A and B are shown apart, each in its own frame.
Chain A
Amino acid sequence: MTRPPHLARRFLSVVAPPAHRNAILGDLEEEFALKTAARGMPPIGWYWRQTLSSAPDLLISRLRGKEGAELAFFLLTCLAAIAMTTVWDIAVARKVAQGASQSYSSLPLYAVRAVYLTAQAFGFALTGGLAALSFARRAGRRRSSAWRMAPFALMLFAPALTALAFGQDPYPLSFRLVWIGCCAPAFFLGAHIGAGPMNGRR
């Protein structure tokens, strides 16, 4: 028996609200089978039209529900985290590095940068910890594992990665790579500690 296009089914199962996913996919598959029997050939175009014309309604329906609130919470937390790391960079990390440079005038540039990176990494660990805590409180234990913070980390590092990709980064490439190499693990370490004893449990 010919089945509907796999990609269209996958797309529908992503956009359809979980409560109606089975019914929607089942209904379309039933109609697909009926039309295939009637026409003698699978109505691939019809299935894709059904999928694409239904997607806007299904997406809006999902966003109006609990998932929309979760997405809004995720985006707001991202914004808060970006603001927090920016403020930490300006108010703490740069000042610590400047202080070190002024106190020890013979300190080489790489050492000043190392101090700056350490202070930055500490800020990212703090942000990761607070984000993991707020996610765990809101979404329950399931969301508290550090690895689940990966999409969040991607949003947080997106400005730096974009600047790196388009060659508009004010920092040298080697410094930026070391920066990401320090701050990203610090973020996940902070998230792991923030998730605390709930980490990994269901």
Chain B
Amino acid sequence: MSKQKNSAEKNLGEFEVLVLAALIRLGPDAYGVTIRNEIETRAGRAVAIGALYTTLSRLEDKGYVRSETGEATAERGGRAKRYYHIEPLGRQRLERSLASLNAMVKGLFAFPQMRGEPEQQ
């Protein structure tokens, strides 16, 4: 029980943040192909389809996203799309993760190490 609580309170991983952000940006058109393209275009990160679906499955198990089966098309070999939507709990976790990241990053460029200057004694 406490382990479950701990895992629920933990911040999201970097890739989970990217996936949830992509779901918000894509809205109702979020499925495997568009999510991958969104992450590759905006974050400049190549995404293996296996990693994407493993993450989506984990987020779904946690109740952060839900999925529904869409239409099958000829160019997909007659296979149906699987659309993903972010749930309120997922949005809440994403906000919390981004807030803690912001808190760590805010003002970071004021430090000389970030400007490539030597550390002051």
Do A and B make up one complex? yes
Chain B: residues with CB nearer than 8 A to chain A? 31-33, 36, 48-51, 53-54, 57, 72-77, 79-82
A-B contact count (CB 8 A): 77
Do A26 and B79 contact each other (CB < 8 Å), given the known contacts A50-B49, A57-B48? yes
Give the interface SS of chain A, mostly helix, strand, loop or mixed: helix
* Contact in complex: A30, B53 (CB < 8 Å): no
* Given contacts A26-B72, A27-B33, A60-B54, A54 and B79 within 8 Å (CB-CB): no
**What 1/0 flags go to A1-39 for Cβ under 8 Å of B?**
101000000000000110110111111111101100000
Residue A55 at the chain B interface, CB threshold 8 Å: yes
Q: Is the CB of B53 within 8 A of A31?
A: no
CB <8 Å contact, B76 and A54: no
User: Size range of the interface on A?
Assistant: 20 to 34
Q: Give complex CA distance A56, B53 in Å.
A: 12
CB distance from B78 to the nearest CB of A (A): 8
Shortest Cβ gap from B79 to chain A (Å): 3
Name A residues whose Cβ lies closer than 8 Å to a Cβ of B: 1, 3, 16-17, 19-20, 22-31, 33-34, 50, 53-58, 60-61
Which of A16, A26, A55 has the largest number of chain B CB atoms within 10 A? A26
Specify which chain B residues have a CB less than 8 angstroms from the CB of A29 in the assembled complex.
75-77, 79
